Structure 1
């Protein structure tokens, strides 16, 4: 990592990355001019803000502006599934077979319609996203998430080039990558380490991979890298952002600094990589 007034990523340069790497930070203060969801907006996707940050815009979230309920979980604002219509059981049915047959499910759905909630969300609430076969499996998924309650009022997404190395302390950095770039990052993550578990593809919402799952890795000894955006709901939302062919590759910041130092002398300087990107 080249440090001056700003951070420049040798990895991003070697990858010929089309967008900025995005740093995720805990913050006591709200960055001036940052993009932010309106309070109470529960159908917006955190990944819209990741896309914005990858294009150079700072984004900020707090406990009233995290987008959807999964986004609150993903960013580390506690178990916001408890705020989902019908609570955690309502969410587990939403993720699986739907709420229509639940004792109060249909009434909640009708209430959402009357309140002007988008019809697509109501349909999913009643009939399920079908990402888990049963509510019981969905409940187990929720229980196994490394729920976090960040100690700061804000979580910030910032283009890595705008990170102040004297003031900012990123938790993790996410790259938006195509298959060739993903391949190179997987190799680099294993280049200076033994074993075959230095990169993982967890089953979780896209925001949870770049958020709480990366927080968990940052606090661990192994500090694995995580591949994300396998969440098709998030992929649907990003199609209009020109990022439909991308996945995320998220790296705990301390591990990123190690990986940055490995670029010189690595495969990035060899003919094979030149042929891949040419």
Structure 2
């Protein structure tokens, strides 16, 4: 097992740093969604971070299309209420007003299960200006296919030797994000290129595929996430309103762990910020 996170201890991060692991073996007694029932990946992520639980996801149990994309289960458009890539692009932007095939999109709206879904499809989420911008977003969103794998979330302290860890995720407040950002650049000298903000990406996409894509790079970047308004609403009751996620590929996490000793995290300036109300 990995030792408890030095970073979390020194930075005063109370919630568990969460490791996202790909595996062929399903862990026993892990939290898991039921196949066919819509669920948000972030609900279980919050349980792992808050309570130290282990959660497991598969293609069958990840019923949210955006969540499937975020964890790395391809692009299953059929799981989305809009049923197609074009429909998804309309939904994520300006809904029926900008639909590429208005007749087909309006037919999907007419088949909605309830007034809530009908309203959402009609209005769109308006996270992007129009479907063309969503097309560009999807082109930039890293694509992975883990359909034959289980994807596990567990406290990083429970990582075992040989685990295929793709990402380590901290839940942090503003001061802690500042500290993590400084530590991420501590041994690199990066100023603008060491950290990216996953603006527009879903919460699971930021800590999932957007962070996976940094794995193996000469200078991997950290990813600031939970900028997704829907995800923030989903986890507010569990994680509170004043946090973001900060995720790094596993190799960068281990480098940051080594750099934490003897860094600014040991000095009074940080301790005063950490311990202030």
TM-score, length-scaled by structure 1: 0.91
In the other structure, the counterpart of 1:225 is: 222
Unaligned runs of at least 5 residues, structure 1: none
Query: Structure 2 matches for 1:16-35, cutoff 5 A?
Result: 16-35=12-31
Mapped partners of 1:239, 1:247: distance in 2: 11
Query: Mapping of 1:49-64 within 5 angstroms?
Result: 49-54=44-49, 55-64=51-60
Answering whether residue 100 of structure 2 is matched by residue 103 of structure 1, we say no
Measured after TM superposition, the shift of residue 91 of structure 1 is 0.3
Q: Residue 65 of structure 1 corresponds to which residue in structure 2?
A: 61
Partners of 2:204 and 2:268 lie apart in 1 by 36
Following superposition, the deviation at residue 82 of structure 1 comes to 5.3
List per-residue Cα deviations over 1:214-269 (Å, max 9, x = no partner). Answer: 11101322211100000001001111214321100001101110110011110011
Q: Whole-Å Cα distance in 2 between the matches of residues 242 and 191 of structure 1?
A: 28
Conserved? CA contact 2:69–2:205, under 8 Å = yes
1:126 is matched with 122
| Residue of 203, 208, 211 corresponding to 2:205 | 208
Question: What does the per-residue CA deviation read over 1:148-189, in whole Å, with 9 as the maximum and x for residues that have no partner?
Answer: 11264211101112222x242311100000001101000101
Q: How far did residue 37 of structure 1 move?
A: 1.2
1:112 aligns with 2:112: yes
Does the 8 A contact of 1:78 with 1:149 survive in 2?
yes
Whole-angstrom CA distance in 2 between matches of 1:49 and 1:67: 13
CA positional deviation for 1:81: 3.1
2:168 aligned partner: 173
Secondary structure of the residue that 2:260 maps to in structure 1? coil
TM superposition shift of 1:6:
4.0
RMSD of the TM alignment (CA)? 1.6
Take 1:83 and 1:172, find their aligned partners in 2: how far apart are those partners? 25
Verify: 1:245 aligned to 2:242, yes or no.
yes
User: Offset at 1:131?
Assistant: 0.5
Match of 2:263 among 244, 252, 266: 266
Instruction: Name the structure 2 match of 1:89.
Output: 86
Tell me if the contact between 1:98 and 1:129 (Cα under 8 Å) persists in the aligned partners.
Answer: yes
Ranges of 4+ aligned residues in structure 1 off by more than 4 Å: none
Structure 1 residue 198 corresponds to structure 2 residue 194: yes
Tell me the distance in 1 between the aligned counterparts of 2:89 and 2:219: 31
The SS at the match of 2:121 is: helix
Would you say how many aligned residue pairs link Structure 1 and Structure 2? 268
Tell me the residue number matched to 2:152.
156
**Alpha-carbon separation, structure 1, partners of 2:96 and 2:26:** 38
